[in-house]
């Protein structure tokens, strides 16, 4: 999976959580939490959606690595391309 | 187990909590003693009309694009659209004290600021600093405790202005007499002055109906006429609830919105919790259009205190007509075509009402409604001769339908801000968690559900 595909999938997941959101306005480098006003529950939605889509298990200690879109792609890329 | 969580009470906090669970595919069971939802903010039918019995206005107004605003955040967390509610803002509000001293405010804080600058010169800077503090304070990270009066005195030198500023916040949410907690004050200051007042386009009956339908559509269940007899606890863990007929509903989690005193009883605990002395007497006057058109003022909501003192206490008599709040629901923007009405709410003494015989009670209601109108007419002009229909409810009525002991609308003075009761799997939500009003109750429900859902979902992710 290419980095662009991963980004597309992430944005789709985020849009599912909040359908009023303009995902194109998101800054890849800024924490999602600040830009989306997401809480911990929304964050778990992202983790759950990733697991459902890709059967990927993300341990709790890795959650901080999903802070921004860019860091999420860095984290997911090697795991989705074994 | 058939249900993931049992929610006691189908008021706004209980319904919000249940809906939050439904959003995560959990199955809540809501048990409501009354035959309808709403609790402290419900409705009743009289003379062919639907009357609302709860708050005059919702707080925490926000425009749609303010994503971080508490109300937008709460609606999002419940998966509800803003269109369900419809946001009809107030036309304005006014605080009126003795000797003609008045302050207007609206959903634009600049109006209140200008009013203060012109009537209390020298206090505008302090007010700005107070606004800045309330705007930046994060109530989630603050500790309760402390007097709002003492706190506000650090910003506002003139005691009359301080009292006037605090008055609407106290009337809309203080379970204590005379004062409220600093934390409550900051939440209310923001919700009422910085954000503002509005009402939904739908009536409270339709709004509650939509919440119940959303819970049921999502696989939850809401049972009416279904009181709880006991919350069962074993070795410090909740096990379910017992029904009056001896039936038992098992559940690993229970959220009680029945208030602290009642919840303690359901747990079989003996410690006395004060149920609160603040209750209200309210009269709703339906007016003919000609009388309504001739009324003075343009505001939707009025807060008045002609008593000379703090005014906010359990009165010695049946009611304190000189202290109250008044709402003209047809003055919310977009409601101008509705049948005009004046709702006048005064402090009432539960014990005095409770002690009356049936005949005395009926006569006392008539008399109290007449007294209440006299003070309301000081502000909006005469309307008593143009009343098409009138109905009133007392602290005893509130107790009967909301099951709050003493009709204590804002709950016990003793709050559990974290909802904790020392029992695993059991949390308290709603009024006695310290958040009041329909919006506060719903936020409390969402937050309480989140506290239970987070560990559940983390557990699922580990599987």
* pLDDT tens digits for range B191-218: 999 999 999 999 999 999 999 999 999 9
| A-contacting residues in B 313-342 (Cβ below 8 Å) | none
Instruction: Looking at the complex, report in whole angstroms how far the Cα of residue B460 sits from the nearest Cα belonging to chain A.
Output: 9
What is the mean pLDDT of the segment spanning B291-295? Answer: 98
Q: Does B461 touch chain A (CB under 8 A)?
A: yes
Q: Does B25 touch chain A (CB under 8 A)?
A: no
How far is it, in rounded angstroms, from Cα B395 to Cα B109?
34
Chain B residues inside the 8 Å CB shell of A18: 76
User: How much is the pLDDT for B361?
Assistant: 98
> Is a pLDDT exceeding 80 seen at residue A21?
no
**Where are the strands (E) in A2-53, listed by range?**
none
**What is the pLDDT confidence band of residue B68, given thresholds at 50, 70 and 90?**
confident
Inspect the interface and report whether the beta carbons of A41 and B461 lie closer than 8 Å.
no
What is the mean pLDDT of the segment spanning B113-117? Answer: 97
CATH of B5-60+202-274+411-462, one of 3.40.50.970, 3.30.565.10, 3.40.50.2300, 3.50.50.60: 3.50.50.60
Nearest by CB to residue A37, choosing from B68, B450, B458, is B68
Domain parsing of chain B, residue ranges: 5-60+202-274+411-462, 93-195, 277-402
| A-contacting residues in B 33-92 (Cβ below 8 Å) | 67-68, 73, 76-77
Average per-residue pLDDT in chain A?
88
CA angle B33, B34, B37 (to 5 degrees): 110
Provide long-range contacts, Cβ within 8 A and 24+ apart, for B395-400: B395/B279, B395/B280, B395/B281, B395/B348, B395/B349, B395/B350, B395/B353, B395/B354, B396/B350, B396/B353, B396/B354, B396/B361, B398/B40, B398/B53, B398/B279, B398/B280, B399/B279, B399/B350
Instruction: Report the CATH number of the A3-80 domain.
Output: 1.10.1200.10
**What is the pLDDT confidence band of residue B378, given thresholds at 50, 70 and 90?**
very high
User: Which residue in A has a C-alpha nearest to residue B457's C-alpha?
Assistant: A44
Instruction: Looking at the complex, report in whole angstroms how far the Cα of residue A37 sits from the nearest Cα belonging to chain B.
Output: 6
Name the token pair of B442: 């719903």
For residues B149, B154, B159 and B165, what is the CA-based torsion angle, rounded to 10 degrees? -60
Inspect the interface and report whether the beta carbons of B457 and A41 lie closer than 8 Å.
yes
For residues A62, A64, A69 and A75, what is the CA-based torsion angle, rounded to 10 degrees? -30
For residues B414, B415, B418 and B421, what is the CA-based torsion angle, rounded to 10 degrees? 50
Inspect the interface and report whether the beta carbons of B457 and A39 lie closer than 8 Å.
no
Nearest by CB to residue A48, choosing from B76, B454, B461, is B461
User: How much is the pLDDT for B95?
Assistant: 98
Instruction: Looking at the complex, report in whole angstroms how far the Cα of residue B455 sits from the nearest Cα belonging to chain A.
Output: 10
Give the number of other CB atoms < 10 A from CB of residue B309: 12
Inspect the interface and report whether the beta carbons of B454 and A37 lie closer than 8 Å.
no
How many CA atoms within 13 Å lie on the side-chain side of B116? 24
Instruction: Looking at the complex, report in whole angstroms how far the Cα of residue A36 sits from the nearest Cα belonging to chain B.
Output: 8
Chain A residues inside the 8 Å CB shell of B68: 37
Domain parsing of chain A, residue ranges: 3-80
User: How much is the pLDDT for A76?
Assistant: 94
What is the mean pLDDT of the segment spanning B267-296? Answer: 94
Could you report the per-residue pLDDT of B248-270, keeping only the tens digit for each?
999 999 999 999 999 999 999 98
User: How much is the pLDDT for B139?
Assistant: 76
How far does Cα B9 stand from its chain's mean position? 15
The helix (H) or strand (E) run that includes residue B323 is strand B319-327
ipTM of the complex: 0.77
Q: Does B447 touch chain A (CB under 8 A)?
A: no
The helix (H) or strand (E) run that includes residue B168 is helix B159-171
Name, in order, each residue with C-beta under 8 angstroms of B261's C-beta and a sequence gap of 6 or more: B273, B274, B275, B405, B412
User: How much is the pLDDT for A36?
Assistant: 77
**What is the pLDDT confidence band of residue B244, given thresholds at 50, 70 and 90?**
very high
Q: Do the Cβ atoms of B79 and B241 come closer than 8 Å? A: no
Could you report the per-residue pLDDT of B1-32, keeping only the tens digit for each?
899 999 999 999 999 999 999 999 999 999 99
């Amino acid at each position: 999976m290419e980095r662009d595909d991963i980004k597309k999938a992430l944005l789709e997941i985020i849009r599912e959580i909040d359908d009023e959101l303009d995902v194109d306005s998101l800054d890849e480098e800024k924490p999602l939490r600040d830009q989306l006003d997401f809480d911990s529950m929304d964050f778990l939605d992202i983790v759950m959606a990733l697991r459902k889509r890709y059967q990927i298990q993300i341990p709790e200690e890795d959650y901080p690595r999903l802070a921004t879109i860019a860091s999420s792609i860095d984290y997911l890329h090697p795991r989705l391309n074994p | 187990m058939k249900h993931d969580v049992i929610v006691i009470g189908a008021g706004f906090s209980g319904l919000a909590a249940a809906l939050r669970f439904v959003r995560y595919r959990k199955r809540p069971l809501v048990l409501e003693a009354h035959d309808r939802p709403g609790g402290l903010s419900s409705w009743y039918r009289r003379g062919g009309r639907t009357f609302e019995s709860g708050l005059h206005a919702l707080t925490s107004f926000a425009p749609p694009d303010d994503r971080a605003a508490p109300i937008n955040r709460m609606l999002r967390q419940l998966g509800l659209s803003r269109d369900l509610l419809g946001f009809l803002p107030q036309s304005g509000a006014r605080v009126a004290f003795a000797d003609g001293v008045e302050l207007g405010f609206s959903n634009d804080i600049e109006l209140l600021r200008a009013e203060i600058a012109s009537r209390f010169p020298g206090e505008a800077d302090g007010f700005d600093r107070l606004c800045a503090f309330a705007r930046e304070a994060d109530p989630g990270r603050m500790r309760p405790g402390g007097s709002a009066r003492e706190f506000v005195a650090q910003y506002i030198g003139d005691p009359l202005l301080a009292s006037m500023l605090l008055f609407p916040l106290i009337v809309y949410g203080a379970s204590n007499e005379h004062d409220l907690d600093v934390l409550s004050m900051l939440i209310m200051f923001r919700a009422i002055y910085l954000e503002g007042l509005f009402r939904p386009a739908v009536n409270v009956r339709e709004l509650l109906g939509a919440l119940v339908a959303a819970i049921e559509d999502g696989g939850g269940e809401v049972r009416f006429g279904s009181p709880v007899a006991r919350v069962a606890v074993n070795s410090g863990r909740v096990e379910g609830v017992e029904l009056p007929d001896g039936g038992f509903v098992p559940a690993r989690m229970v959220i009680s919105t029945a208030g602290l005193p009642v919840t303690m009883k359901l747990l079989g605990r003996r410690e006395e919790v004060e149920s609160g002395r603040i209750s209200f007497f309210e009269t709703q006057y339906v007016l003919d259009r000609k009388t309504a058109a001739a009324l003075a003022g343009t505001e939707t909501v009025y807060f008045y205190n002609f008593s000379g003192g703090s005014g906010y206490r359990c009165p010695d008599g049946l009611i304190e007509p000189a202290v109250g709040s008044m709402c003209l629901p047809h003055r919310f923007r977009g409601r101008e075509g509705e049948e005009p009405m004046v709702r006048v709410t005064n402090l009432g003494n539960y014990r005095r009402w409770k002690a009356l015989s049936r005949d005395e009670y009926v006569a006392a209601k008539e008399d109290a409604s007449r007294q209440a109108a006299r003070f309301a007419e000081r502000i909006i002009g005469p309307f008593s001769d143009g009343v098409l229909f009138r109905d009133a409810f007392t602290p005893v009525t509130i107790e009967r339908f909301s099951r709050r002991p003493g009709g204590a609308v804002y709950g016990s003075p003793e709050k559990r801000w974290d909802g904790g009761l020392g029992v695993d799997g059991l949390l308290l939500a709603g009024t006695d968690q310290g958040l009041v009003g329909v919006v506060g109750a719903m936020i409390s429900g969402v937050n309480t559900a989140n506290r239970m859902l987070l560990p559940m979902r983390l557990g699922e992710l580990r599987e």
